[in-house]
Copies of this chain bind each other. A is one copy, B any other.
Amino acid sequence: MAFDELVQNLGGEHKQVVPVTVFIAFLCLCLVISHLLEENRWINESITAILFGCLSGTLILLGSRGKSSHILRFNEELFFIYLLPPIIFNAGFQVKKKQFFQNFFTIMLFGVVGVFISVFVVTAGSRWLFPKLRFDGLTARDYLAIGTIFSSTDTVCTLQVLHQDETPRLYSLVFGEGVVNDATSVVLFNAVQKLDVSRLDRQTAFHIIGDFCYLFSTSTVLGIVTGLLTSYSLKALYFGRHSSVREIALMVLMAYLSYMMAELLELSGILTVFFCGIIMSHYAWHNVTESSRVTTKHVFAMMSLVAETFIFLYVGMDALDIEKWKVSKLRYGHNVLSEPIRSHVIQTKILYITTQGLLYNMVSHNNSLVQVIIWWAGLMRGAVSIALAFKQFTHSGVTKCEINATMITNTNIVVLLTTLVFGFLTKPLIRYLLPHGGSTNQIYRESTITKDDQMNLPLLSMVESATTNLRRAKDGISMLIERPVHTIHSYWRKFDDTYMRPIFGGPPNSL
């Protein structure tokens, strides 16, 4: 069945035209509706897209008389090769580098160590719980995969409510944790795939950690090298001399190339493209013409927005996928399994964030407010979970096996519920926790404008505004973390000014 459908999709003219047209039309509608509902900030593109997906899925289900609810088969290749790279690259390109690197250790603590704990807890928990629910048939690798699938988070909803300029540190923590979390989950997922699960002993854990460190470092280096190469060629050849279109094309293509090369070398494309984005915004962005700067900034944001909306639209539509429901052990009325899994995951997450919080508290003496928000942001599951689930439990998006279908539907339900429920509640929660951080669109727009100035700031810098310093002092971050970071900062700044900037471009760091 998979065969004919694939051929149908590629062969006949109308098989590809119809779904693409419908998806593009829905994307346009999502954009318009999100714009109209922007004022109250309760709803964002993700939630609109999910609701739209559900609605259209229902209509298609009724139209096809209960035969099918989706018009485009989910393809994890589509997701990992075409939709994910622009989202992650844009994250790296637009991140406030100063904040990100100042909180680098904290982010790593939450992102990397947190995911390791979460994977362990979820895997052990599933192994204990699933047989009790008479849900058997999963292999050891499946259990480990479930651990990684439910350890990736989706911080988009939270980030849309937070303001980068009002709470810069919180924003960068949530944001950084999100990216590092996703990258760690995917790297771990790939490490688990290669694992010899027939003999699991103490060495396995070291093996996984070793693999992880190798993947993490090589991917980062690849991203940095690609970014520097692009910056150097843009500076040395000065493309803008003839046409600014060519330099924009080169930046887009090189960014994408870094991701694809990482995938080709079986590294983590997410990390590579993220660091490539950071390097490009730090050096390459200064070597292009003024119009190219404006264009690249907006193009990357646009591609990211479209890809993100597309994914959520699909998640909404696939939630009603009747074929998988029929195949899976679950029935409409008595959805016995997904609830336990969901609550289980949430409990696990609570557990792990609490552990993390304790760790974090020990080193930072921080107040609990930040923890609560990071914990909240960590509750939502997103597109990465879906994609990993499809990779583990299907073959080209199709499955006939009862157990696999159940796992896919469960992942969809978890993503759907967490995004809808927690997404809607995020704004009231943050308003309650941070009464001064009310949603004023004025500030939101300013954050876009000040991007230009921000781009000129050094990658790591001590220079900060008085207000930020004041806020930081309030937050009370321990000097234990602060001191070494600042020393590294100043060394890096000197090195950047003396060697890097003259070769790769960009204005010297202001003192």
Contact across chains for B306 and A249 when beta carbons are under 8 A apart: yes
Find A10's partner among B11, B261, B396 (CB 8 Å cutoff): B396
Contact across chains for B233 and A305 when beta carbons are under 8 A apart: no
Contacts of A299 in B (CB 8 A): 248, 295, 299, 302
Contact across chains for A260 and B17 when beta carbons are under 8 A apart: yes
Main secondary structure on chain A at its contact with chain B? helix
A32-40, A134-142, A166-174, A466-474: which lies at the interface:
A32-40
Residues 3-57 of A at the B interface (beta carbon under 8 Å): 3, 6-7, 10-11, 13-14, 16-18, 20-21, 24-25, 27-28, 31-32, 34-36, 38
A215-223, A250-258, A370-378, A495-503: which lies at the interface:
A250-258
Give the distance to chain B from A20, nearest Cβ to Cβ, in Å.
Answer: 6
Write out, one digit per residue, whether chain A residues 279-315 have a CB within 8 A of any chain B CB (1) or not (0). Answer: 0000000000001101100110110011000000000
A362: interface (CB < 8 Å): no
A244: interface (CB < 8 Å): yes
A235-243, A429-437, A483-491: which lies at the interface:
A235-243
Give the distance to chain B from A289, nearest Cβ to Cβ, in Å.
Answer: 10
Give the distance to chain B from A74, nearest Cβ to Cβ, in Å.
Answer: 12
Contact across chains for B298 and A250 when beta carbons are under 8 A apart: no
Contact across chains for B245 and A20 when beta carbons are under 8 A apart: no
Beyond A31-B249, A38-B242, A253-B27, whether A264 also contacts B18 by CB under 8 A is yes
Taking residues whose C-beta sits less than 8 angstroms from the other chain, chain A's interface range is 35 or more
Beyond A6-B7, A246-B31, whether A257 also contacts B302 by CB under 8 A is no
Contact across chains for A6 and B10 when beta carbons are under 8 A apart: yes
Contact across chains for B11 and A396 when beta carbons are under 8 A apart: yes
Contact across chains for B396 and A242 when beta carbons are under 8 A apart: no
Contacts of A59 in B (CB 8 A): none
A336: interface (CB < 8 Å): no
Contact across chains for B245 and A302 when beta carbons are under 8 A apart: yes
Contact across chains for A24 and B260 when beta carbons are under 8 A apart: yes
Residues 82-113 of A at the B interface (beta carbon under 8 Å): none
Beyond A28-B257, A35-B242, A306-B253, whether A248 also contacts B298 by CB under 8 A is yes
Chain B residue with the shortest CB-CB distance to A391? B13
Give the distance to chain B from A273, nearest Cβ to Cβ, in Å.
Answer: 13
A81: interface (CB < 8 Å): yes
A77: interface (CB < 8 Å): yes
A395: interface (CB < 8 Å): yes
Write out, one digit per residue, whether chain A residues 449-478 have a CB within 8 A of any chain B CB (1) or not (0). Answer: 000000000000000000000000000000
Give the one of A242, A261, A395 with max B CB within 10 A: A242
Contacts of A11 in B (CB 8 A): 395-396
A21 and B261 alpha carbons, distance in the complex (Å): 7
Contact across chains for A35 and B298 when beta carbons are under 8 A apart: no
A25 and B260 alpha carbons, distance in the complex (Å): 10
A75: interface (CB < 8 Å): yes
A448: interface (CB < 8 Å): yes
Contact surface of A with B, Cβ cutoff 8 Å: 2-3, 6-7, 10-11, 13-14, 16-18, 20-21, 24-25, 27-28, 31-32, 34-36, 38, 75, 77, 81, 233, 237, 239, 241-246, 248-250, 252-254, 256-257, 260-261, 263-264, 291-292, 294-295, 298-299, 301-302, 305-306, 395-396, 441, 444-445, 448
Q: List 9 A-B contacts (CB under 8 A).
A: A7-B396, A10-B396, A24-B256, A31-B246, A32-B237, A35-B242, A244-B298, A291-B294, A292-B298
12 more contacts with CB within 8 A, not counting A242-B441, A246-B305, are: A6-B7, A10-B396, A17-B260, A18-B264, A20-B260, A21-B264, A24-B253, A28-B250, A38-B242, A249-B305, A291-B298, A292-B298
